[in-house]
Structure 1
């Protein structure tokens, strides 16, 4: 990817202003990040395929589902049924399932992603790295908003860029966790293609989503010298 993309994490939006915030963001972002948690892989229970269908009533942007679940097959089948554009599964629960689920997602004309927890090395996805469309690096412990940023995880983004260049892989690289004014500079140096942006970087900056967006744009420029639309 030649241009950085910001993907808002809708788990962290103000649900009292659901329509207002989505309508505004439709003109400014390239996709939405949907966290689906089952209460087992992580303690929380959050969004669902139903939520994706609700967003689609007012948005035509691609949806990226991040499955923090112990039974990915159950959720993959549901997301295929509603044609969720990106289905991203945790590497930690894919042993024995990876090839089957990646093929199933691709056969449905959708894109398959894999997510790595902070403790999980890039080597864990080596057997199928050439098949996936996106790799998401968790820069926080998963399952809660507002977790401590783990700077050492950025090394995996650098590693993934090097592998992609060397072997001509086609995946995009996404980072997820605590991106904002305090971390933009370090993240930019690692070079992900997609920033998942949540409360600290966007939704928590102001009650007015337009002001929050402009503040985020300024923060990003101040820390990186790069402009976003």
Structure 2
């Protein structure tokens, strides 16, 4: 959502050698008031990279979009916890039967208790550290506590999900996010794509900012 679409091939190709996955936001204009990318966009990304793609659904009808994302073989499909009641187990099972990974997303106000019935079955839990729907939202530091709680829950029960954070990950927040210790960082406009005029310089600036904040080098 935050990349420069005019430089689609250049940015995707460069980042393919740097990142573990691409994070694609899909919004329907109803769950959040914005419209962004689509399964068709994921098809286009797959023509230029073999790097796995994780779709983040911000939609009223996640079951419909799960079916569409299975059709394009999206490696990870993450549905919103707030719209999963009554269909979570079916969606997770359908995603897994397609040979793909299932994830669930917690908005800042949504508590872990909402996903406890099925958290053992998902491959990833995404913790939103901004309100969903738009880039550049205010960082919600209190949401970081959920990352710590999810790690404790995983350790105590032997669960296999990865913990991902999403929202305003940048030089101002890197230290606090690192201290919370997620497995996956989502880096968007404020942390990467908006730093410099080209993607290579932006990447170098991002890695410098992360090292300055945490003392840890970013390894490719």
TM-based fold match above 0.5:
yes
2:196 aligned partner: 206
Task: Tell me by how many angstroms 1:46 deviates.
Answer: 0.3
Task: Tell me by how many angstroms 1:82 deviates.
Answer: 1.1
State TM-score, norm by structure 1.
0.95
Q: Pick from 94, 98, 108 the counterpart of residue 98 of structure 2.
A: 108
State the Cα RMSD in Å: 0.5
1:131 aligned partner: 121
1:166 aligned partner: 156
Q: Pick from 93, 110, 130 the counterpart of residue 140 of structure 1.
A: 130
Runs of 4+ in structure 1 off by over 3 angstroms are none
1:24-76 CA-partner distances (Å, limit 9, x unpaired) = 10111110000000000000010000000101111001000000000011100
Q: Secondary structure at the match of 1:12?
A: coil
Task: Tell me by how many angstroms 1:216 deviates.
Answer: 0.4
2:55 aligned partner: 65
2:29 aligned partner: 39
Q: Pick from 140, 153, 161 the counterpart of residue 150 of structure 1.
A: 140
Task: Tell me by how many angstroms 1:214 deviates.
Answer: 0.6
Task: Tell me by how many angstroms 1:227 deviates.
Answer: 1.0
Q: Secondary structure at the match of 1:142?
A: coil
Task: Tell me by how many angstroms 1:208 deviates.
Answer: 1.2
Structure 2 distance, partners of 1:99, 1:30, is 27
1:56-111 CA-partner distances (Å, limit 9, x unpaired) = 11100100000000001110001111110000000000000000100000011100
Structure 2 distance, partners of 1:180, 1:119, is 21
Structure 2 distance, partners of 1:208, 1:34, is 20
Task: Spell out the pairing of 1:72-87 with structure 2 (5 A cutoff).
Answer: 72-87=62-77
1:16 aligned partner: 6
Structure 2 distance, partners of 1:163, 1:225, is 28
Q: Secondary structure at the match of 1:163?
A: helix
Structure 2 distance, partners of 1:35, 1:68, is 7
Gap runs ≥5 in structure 1: 1-10
Structure 1 distance, partners of 2:197, 2:2, is 13
Relative contact order, higher structure (CA 8 A, sep 6+): 1
Q: Does 1:118 align with 2:108?
A: yes
State TM-score, norm by structure 2.
0.99
